[in-house]
Structure 1
Amino acid sequence: MILLFSALACGETPKEKPAESIKTVAKDSIKEDTKILQEKDTLNIEKEDEPFVLTEDNAIDFFFEYQKGLPTTRIKITTSLGSFVVQLYDNVPYHKANFIYLTKKGYFDNTMFHRVVKDFIIQGGNADNRETAAKRREIGRYLLPPDTRKGYKHHRGTISMPSSEIDNPHMLASPYEFFIVVTKPGSYHLDGNYTPFGRVIDGMDVVDLINQQPVDDGDWPSKNIYIHKAEILN
């Protein structure tokens, strides 16, 4: 917030100047000071009313504070083909905090599993509707750094975060999407490039059912598979 203040300049008052003139100057100064304070209060109110938006500059600091004290968390994802439960890892703080934050904001509701690769992964969190695009604008545009050294591997049932495809040599994670490994026993060639941040602990049969749906040449399901709701269980 930048405040522009008017400079109040008072020249040296001659000794012979009547007292009334000094009082007038003082009164005018009070009026001007009052005006400045009123303008400042107005600007403060406008600033407080501005919605918070995540950016490349503030996202890491925000999630560093947001993740403090977050409990071990399970999230239930209800889809048009059934529901499953994900347990988030505690020691992958930024990715855990991001997923919880987006869940609380209702971001995932009415998105889709938009990419299905047979016997490999299902990928969700995107949609070709205006609602999803509007949610992203309101939440902000940012990426997350990879966190691949916590010992987690891409076993079957692992939930992980894909990298952004736009000018991204450091494999920064696209925060709005996630994928779940279906491969038995896992897809370990992904280790070191993507960040596992949880695992499916209930409803893996629903994940498999989603993975079995017919898709087009671009791996987009022939029939939309919706995420109706993502909700925190504890």
Structure 2
Amino acid sequence: MGKLFIYLFGIVLFFGSCEDNKKASDADSNRDEIEIENEIEIEKQSITENEAEVDSIALKHPEITNENVVSFLTEYGKNNPETKVLITSRFGDIEMELYKDTPLHRANFIYLVKQHYFDETFFHRVVPNFIIQAGNSDIVSTPRKRAALGNDYLLPAEIIQGRVHEYGTVSGAKEYRENPDNRTAPYEFFIFLGPKSSTTHLNGKYTIFGKVTKGMDIVEEISKVKADDGDWPLNNIYITAKVIE
């Protein structure tokens, strides 16, 4: 009964997010009702597809924990050396290159992409002239995927001396501020837009593990959409991700 309640509650949240999509902001004023309704139908279908993906994850790989995270990602990284990823949203495509000298973060990101974790998550935080952040959502599939992959693990910091946040860098988010080891929350990342003068609280505290190589115009456009007081866009910005090289 508890699982059923959680599932039904997730469905309520899902349709609530769909209702948000109907309230068009200025950024979406050119989208007609038919387009929006089609998008909602696609999102409904994705619930079943995502449940199948969650079951597949549980069968293929062990759950990642803080005890096995280094060994698992080290081995996975050896067998999956890719460094280029494509993030797609309704605004357009963003290409990213992941750094080889942050091997755990690179391997973790490639792993999540290949497990389809990011599909049907959002750009859920947008701050103009600062960052856009992705990897979370308010639909039921996201916590179910996290539970299947590993609900509690963090990534050891891989902070490279002299590497600073600059236009287009990709960094791992942190789960909490009081984090003396600067460990990264594995499921969320942010792209930096802001001036270097606004990086004093970021440099040396967050692992920079990649950069945008194409599509910063898309990043800029996303950063300017209307958002609520918590920087969450008023209209959900769904993403998908795939490895391209």
- TM tier, shorter chain? 0.7 to 0.9
AA matched with 1:198: G
For the residue of structure 2 that corresponds to 1:67, the secondary structure is helix
For structure 2, which runs of at least 5 residues remain unmatched after alignment? 1-58
- 1:167 CA displacement: 6.3
Is 1:153 paired with 2:164? Answer: yes
Deviation digits for residues 104-131 of structure 1 (CA, Å, limit 9, x no counterpart): 0000000001111121000000001110
1:217 to 216, 224, 229: 229
Is 1:208 paired with 2:207? Answer: no
Distance, in Å, in 2 between the alignment partners of 1:73 and 1:51 is: 21
> What's the TM-score, normalizing by structure 2?
0.71
Report if aligned partners of 1:121, 1:180 keep a CA contact under 8 Å in 2: yes
Moved over 4 A (4+): none
Report if aligned partners of 1:92, 1:150 keep a CA contact under 8 Å in 2: no
Distance, in Å, in 2 between the alignment partners of 1:67 and 1:186 is: 34
1:132 to 105, 126, 142: 142
Distance, in Å, in 2 between the alignment partners of 1:69 and 1:50 is: 15
Aligned length: 185
- 1:197 CA displacement: 0.4
Alpha carbons of structure 1 residues 113 and 185: separation in structure 2 relative to 1, 3 Å: same
Is 1:56 paired with 2:66? Answer: yes
2:77 is matched with which residue? 67
Report if aligned partners of 2:86, 2:243 keep a CA contact under 8 Å in 1: yes
Distance, in Å, in 2 between the alignment partners of 1:93 and 1:51 is: 19
1:97 to 87, 90, 107: 107
For the residue of structure 2 that corresponds to 1:179, the secondary structure is strand
For the residue of structure 1 that corresponds to 2:78, the secondary structure is coil
- 1:185 CA displacement: 5.3
Is 1:113 paired with 2:123? Answer: yes
Report if aligned partners of 2:82, 2:110 keep a CA contact under 8 Å in 1: no
Alpha carbons of structure 1 residues 218 and 174: separation in structure 2 relative to 1, 3 Å: same
Deviation digits for residues 134-168 of structure 1 (CA, Å, limit 9, x no counterpart): 10011012000111125321111000001112863
Alpha carbons of structure 1 residues 54 and 217: separation in structure 2 relative to 1, 3 Å: same
Distance, in Å, in 2 between the alignment partners of 1:204 and 1:119 is: 12
**Superposition CA RMSD, Å:** 1.8
Distance, in Å, in 2 between the alignment partners of 1:206 and 1:181 is: 13
- 1:61 CA displacement: 1.0
> Which shows bigger deviation, 50-59 or 76-85?
50-59
Alpha carbons of structure 1 residues 51 and 205: separation in structure 2 relative to 1, 3 Å: closer
For structure 1, which runs of at least 5 residues remain unmatched after alignment? 1-48
Alpha carbons of structure 1 residues 129 and 71: separation in structure 2 relative to 1, 3 Å: same
1:87 to 73, 94, 97: 97
